[in-house]
């Protein structure tokens, strides 16, 4: 009986971690121009959605292929989200100078809007990575999933926001967090979210499977 060192849980785990580190570096480098953050994040989710199903293949080739193919749509989505985010942040800050009760209510409203915007952003990039659709349809589906899959939405927002808050908690946590973000932070969050998104996207995958079966039946 021959022992294959590559067929080992520890080796496979280390290989995954190495891939995630490489993807994180690629994501950061491709996000440096700022305007390319959308395309970079979509490419990251393209690989991560495959990785959670052990179908990632060549990560470098896959990443740059997804980056190029989804560049235009992802960039437009990113610009729209960025503008809405800035407007929401400015309104939130302005609400802080309002009288106590009114300011609290307005800040609560803008926090809710921020939650929805972040959720839609996560879904929008993942949907662009997984499916071909128009920008309008992508935003519509992202908004529907935000509400229809609320437990998954909450978990993904908690993972994303929680990681940022924990990093900025104090100077000590920030000191440890910075190298982690440069090393694996972004890809780790995308990996966790992709596990949840895999369950969320079953509603689309099952629908496609049913359509294929019906089409096959018609052809017969």
Per-residue model confidence (pLDDT) at position 214: 54
Q: Is the dihedral of CA 162, 167, 169, 173 positive or negative?
A: positive
47 lies in a domain? yes
Residue 1: what pLDDT?
Answer: 46
CA 38 – CA 30 distance, rounded (Å): 10
Given a cut of 60, is residue 72 above it in pLDDT? Answer: yes
Phi, psi (5° rounding) for residue 35? Answer: -65, -20
Q: What sign does the dihedral 162-164-167-169 (CA atoms) show? A: negative
Coil/strand/helix, residue 52:
coil
Domain count, the chain: 1
- pLDDT at position 11, please? 80
In a domain, 68, yes or no: yes
In a domain, 40, yes or no: yes
Rg (CA), the chain: 20
Q: Which domain holds residue 118?
A: 9-208
3-state DSSP assignment of residue 140: helix
pTM of the model: 0.87
* Structural domain includes residue 216: no
What is the pLDDT, as a whole number, of residue 210? Answer: 54
Does residue 6 register a pLDDT over 80?
no
**Residue 214 belongs to a domain:** no
Whether 9 shows a pLDDT value over 80: the answer reads: no
Domain for residue 219, yes or no?
no
CA distance 18 to 6: 14
**Within-domain flag for 218:** no
Nearest to 22 by CA among 52, 53, 47, 50: 47
Whether residue 98 is contained in a domain is answered as: yes
Query: For 97-148, how does the pLDDT look when each residue is reduced to its tens digit (9 = 90+)?
Result: 878 788 889 889 999 999 999 999 999 999 999 999 999 999 999 999 999 9
The burial of 181, by beta-carbon neighbours within 10 Å (0-12 exposed, 13-18 middle, 19 or more buried), is given as middle
């Amino acid at each position: 009986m021959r022992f294959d060192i590559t067929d080992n849980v520890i080796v496979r785990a280390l290989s995954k971690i190495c891939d995630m580190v490489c993807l994180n570096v690629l994501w950061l480098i491709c996000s440096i121009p700022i305007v390319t953050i959308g395309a970079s994040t979509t490419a990251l989710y393209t690989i991560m959605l495959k990785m959670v199903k052990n179908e990632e293949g060549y990560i470098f080739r896959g990443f740059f292929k997804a980056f190029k193919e989804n560049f235009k749509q992802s960039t437009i989505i990113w610009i729209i989200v960025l503008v809405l985010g800035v407007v929401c942040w400015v309104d939130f800050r302005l609400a802080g100078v309002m009288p106590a009760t009114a300011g609290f209510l307005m800040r609560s409203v803008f926090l809710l809007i921020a939650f929805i915007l972040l959720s839609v952003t996560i879904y929008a990039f993942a949907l662009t990575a997984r499916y071909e659709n128009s920008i309008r349809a992508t935003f519509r589906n992202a908004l529907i999933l935000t509400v229809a899959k609320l437990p998954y939405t909450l978990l993904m927002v908690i993972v994303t926001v929680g990681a940022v808050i924990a990093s900025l908690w104090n100077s000590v946590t920030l000191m440890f967090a910075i190298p982690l973000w440069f090393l694996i932070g972004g890809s780790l969050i995308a990996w966790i979210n992709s596990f949840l998104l895999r369950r969320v996207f079953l509603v689309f995958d099952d629908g496609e499977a049913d359509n294929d079966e019906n089409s096959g039946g018609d052809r017969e």
